[in-house]
Structure 1
């Protein structure tokens, strides 16, 4: 009887200690999910330019229309590198005091080559000339959607203004 109790205790101990809390692979991390090649599928671009004309502060809304899009980006790991290919063109329009202004920027190559990291829900891309931070809105096996801002000093017919451009970019895995 003593041997039977000992054998039962040994079997229970083996069963308890051999069971793992890991029920298989967990959900992939954002870092795992972002690795791969992504085609830009939607660009939402708008913003505001502010400046001073004749001592009066002015603000102008800006809208952007993206066309001729062949832009794609590839994220690799070990090391975390990013490379973009293709380009796009954008037509900016703004209205001020009944006047409509338009500027076309063609063959935009946005990121180029650099490194990437994710901190929380932020994607940080660093190139040799700049660092850009994007808030990750959506990431899954097929869709990557990020939001970011570009702040530029622009010249509008001899007047310097600061433009804050909001970017809402959606990519589809290819």
Structure 2
């Protein structure tokens, strides 16, 4: 179960770090201009579930993760449109499977990421990931070779605050196992 937990954490971590969408409180806003500059992450919360079916046996896991000790920033630049993420934080993760529940604190001791971005309406698209390194509890992990674009919804943006959401469902299947994953995350930032 721990191995699956770490895969879920890693997936959500990448999503969290490339999540900056926004919607202004004013009737007129310019997402691209409003995003520019440095944003400090103040909170993130995610929840979801995964179901794995192998040889007729089903394992269902629900999870809730909350950011703690957050020291992470995202910086948006233009010409070219790049987003840089750096910092560290902990994740308090609670996983529940059948009648068992487990809570653990996972440390992301260093994150460095760079990607392209574009904005359209209230949608922020994080495109090609240009570089990524992650130190997790002392181990360097290189994962998620997938370079597909990800769309985030900006729920709120003001001169000093930003709240974004990403919801997804994923299904993967091979000759041995079928995996279903769905998750919802909300991240908040300040300047």
**Pairwise CA distance, 1:104:** 4.4
Match in the other structure for 2:113: 112
CA drift of 1:90 comes to 1.0
| Larger RCO (CA under 8 A, 6+ residues apart) | 2
Which residue is 1:141 aligned to?
Answer: 159
Report the counterpart of residue 10 of structure 1 in structure 2: none
SS in 1 for 2:70: coil
Question: Which residue is equivalent to 1:168?
Answer: 186
* Structure 1, gaps ≥5 residues long: 1-25, 154-158
Q: Give the equivalent residue in structure 2 for 1:40.
A: 41
* Contact 2:126/2:150, CA 8 A, preserved across alignment: yes
Task: Give the Cα–Cα distance (whole angstroms) in 2 for the partners of residues 47 and 150 of structure 1.
Answer: 9
Deviations, residues 3-36 of structure 1 (Å, cap 9, x unaligned): xxxxxxxxxxxxxxxxxxxxxxx94511111101
Q: What 5-or-longer segments of structure 2 have no aligned partner?
A: 1-26, 131-144, 172-176
Q: Answer whether contact 2:92 2:104 (CA < 8 A) is retained.
A: yes
Residues 86 and 111, structure 2, Cα contact 8 Å, conserved in 1: no
Counterparts of 1:38-117 in structure 2 under 5 Å?
38-52=39-53, 55-102=56-103, 104-107=105-108, 112-117=113-118
Number of aligned positions between the proteins: 144
Contact 1:84–1:109, Cα closer than 8 Å, also in 2: no
Q: TM-score, normalised by structure 2?
A: 0.64
Compute the displacement of 1:84 (Å). 1.0
What's the CA shift for 1:105? Answer: 3.4
